[in-house]
A and B are shown apart, each in its own frame.
Chain A
Amino acid sequence: MKTSTVVNSLQDILDLGSKKKKKAALKKILKKLKKKQIGLKKKLAATQGDKGNKALTAKLKVNQAHRKKGLKALRMLNGKE
């Protein structure tokens, strides 16, 4: 076995704890964001005013962008990208 492979395996073992923590943190926030998204969609459906609609749509847009970035990071941590 090459030295670099040994070093990488060792690093993976040591990094595992922090990776796990990172994943858990991402999942926690993503869950929070999903909940927020559902709430915002409900509110949007109930809102009729143009001003309120615009504000909620903007919030939803930012929420989606956050989730998109979070999911991408999670996929990378899972080794899917």
Chain B
Amino acid sequence: MLKRILLPFIFVILAYGFWFSPDLKEVTAGVAIFLFGMLFLEEGFRTFTGGLLERLLKRTTDRLWKAISFGVVATTIMQSSSLVSVITISFLSAGLIWLTAGIGIIFGANIGTTTGAWLVAGFGLKVNISAYAMPMLVFGIILVFQKSKNLKGIGYVLAGLGFLFLGIHHMKEGFEAFKDTLDLAEYAMPGFLGLIVFTLIGMAATVIMQSSHATLVLIITALAAAQITYENALALAIGANVGTTITAIIGAMSSNYQGKRLAAAHLIFNVTTGAIAIIFISQIVWIVDGVAAGVGIAGDDYTLKLALFHTVFNAIGVAVMIPLISKLVAFLQRAFPKPREDLVEPKFINETAFDFPETLFQTVRQETMHLYDNAFEVLAHGINLHRKDILSEVDLEERVENSRQVMDFDPDQIYMTKVKVLYGAILDFVSKAQTRLSPEFADHLYEIRGACHGLVMSVKDVHHLHKNISAYMGSENEDIRREYNSIRTQIASVMREIHCLGESGEEDRDVLTLDEFKLAIDENNIIATGGLDVLIREEKITVTMATSLMNDLRYARNAVWHIADLGKAVYGATDLATKEAEEIMALTEEDVDEMRESAAS
């Protein structure tokens, strides 16, 4: 609601301002160009992430002091604490760095970002930087159009700097002209009230612009043009420092608990630093005056003194917070706990089964069926069918032909929480159990373990298939649609058969039936029958479709064979002699190849 009102409100205020004062136009255009430059700069540095930056980050964050130093250096080079924060959040979320290191980088970034004020105050206002901006823009934009990723990145950085310089120039010019028409200094507020009010203004300006860097440049240029007093400029800088946390907070809203922890750390640090600066303003100003005199900054060079103030109060903040960092980490871990993943736990296997080989064998089978049940969703939805389509008695071919809805599901999440965990538990159990069993029992356990592995592979196979099935099952091209629907039908058929085997009593089960599906998928393979060549030759399908189909036929074949093997391992006879007899009669790959070849000839 607020968001919807805020934007039109800002537009109206700006439009009124532009109509009222052409100088305001120049200042705000300067801010806009500056922000545009920041975007370019971030884009430029982003092209270099994924390599050097990551390697550096990993190597330089194993100690707190290194993490802080990294934050300072990275932000000084990139001139964007937001980019550094975002990268830190992504690294923290990926588990590549630890929370304390992440907090260290954020602390460092707060000091690093103050270098921007130094550059603008020391260089930007004293040199005609617009003279550098134009060639930078020209060279930068030419490089942006290059194909090479590195050249493009350099181009973005160069153009970004060009826009930054141009923006600063326009802000400077705007405030200079402003001075003749309107003296903002008249609105200066001395004392504690002024400190609070201007801190809030600084915060608001940074929240709106989402860049403390831009706010600071604006403050420095206004201060240089004597549009604001030094005292109020200090308050604005404190406000900008607190307001800048909004970028991290917005970024963390869509990130995981680690991102939220880091954004909270950022907020706590900046609010604490701001509070210290407000409470001890006179003492900090005294320190700034002393240091300024010591390093040779003139007493009336308020822009440089503002930059110094910015650095000093951030450095004080870091010094105060470092001893509290472990407490801060503990607080953040409590406030943003790691969400409990809905991990599936084994239902049947437990260590008491080790003492009874026959029940152990049955227990592992039941757990394997549990694993299959969990994998069922990925397998069924992967071929864009509902569970009920497969488990009912409806004509599968007809159902497949008519169902063209792409299933919305998260295969990775299901795999991680429901399949992988259980598979790991079965692996662990089988490894421990095999040492306590006689060889014939151990062999069957190995078979089940192999079947579980096959099932996990088939989940991955179907996951691979999902994209092309979704793309081609509703295709206008009848031939490609038919081939993909055939794949869907064959996978669904073997799954239905597994269900039927589970439903029937042990005496009536015929696991050898599963060989029919193995033979069918091999016989129907249009690569082997030459059907694919015909489709390509007669231009019924494109070469792209053909290559996709070739890969997908392999995935489908593997999935059907793995699922069939799982059915045999789980629903095969329970007594060892019959199981062995079933294995003797079961068709091997060589048998299937022979049958396929004799059928073809």
Contact = CB atoms under 8 A, between A and B. Distances in A.
Interface of A: 18, 21-22, 24-26, 28-29, 32-33, 36, 58-59, 61-62, 65-67, 69-70, 73
B477 to A, nearest CB: 23
Interface in B165-183: none
Nearest to B573: A25
A23 to B, nearest CB: 9
A28 B515 CA distance: 19
What size tier do the contact residues of chain B reach?
20 to 34
Given A18-B577, A22-B580, A58 B585 contact: no
B512 A61 contact: no
Interface in B560-594: 573, 575, 577-578, 580-582, 584-587, 591
A25 B587 contact: no
A59 B515 CA distance: 9
Contacts of B586: 66
A70 B578 CA distance: 12
B585 A73 contact: yes
Contact of A25 (B516, B519, B580, B595): B580
B68 to A, nearest CB: 70
A69 B510 contact: no
B520 interface: yes
B591 A21 contact: no
B512 A25 contact: no
B581 A58 contact: no
A63 to B, nearest CB: 8
A29 B333 CA distance: 61
B396 to A, nearest CB: 12
B584 A58 contact: no
B515 A66 contact: yes
7 contacts: A26-B585, A58-B516, A58-B519, A61-B599, A62-B512, A62-B516, A62-B519
Given A33-B512, A58-B519, A25 B585 contact: no
A28 B577 CA distance: 11
Given A73-B584, A73-B585, A65 B595 contact: yes
B591 A65 contact: yes
Contacts of A70: 581, 584-585
Interface of B: 510, 512-513, 515-516, 519-520, 523, 573, 575, 577-578, 580-582, 584-587, 591, 595, 599
A69 B591 CA distance: 10
A69 B585 contact: yes
Contacts of A59: 516
Contacts of B510: 32, 36
B496 to A, nearest CB: 14
B520 A58 contact: yes
B235 to A, nearest CB: 83
A28 B510 CA distance: 12
Contacts of A62: 512-513, 515-516, 519, 587
Nearest to B514: A62
A21 B513 CA distance: 23
A28 B586 CA distance: 15
B581 A26 contact: yes
A21 B580 CA distance: 10
B585 A29 contact: yes
A58 B493 CA distance: 15
Candidate in A18, A25, A62 with the most chain B CB atoms within 10 angstroms: A62
The 3 closest A-B pairs by CB, nearest first: A25-B581, A21-B577, A25-B577
A61 B519 contact: yes
Contacts of B513: 62
B580 A66 contact: no
Nearest to B516: A62
Contacts of A18: 577
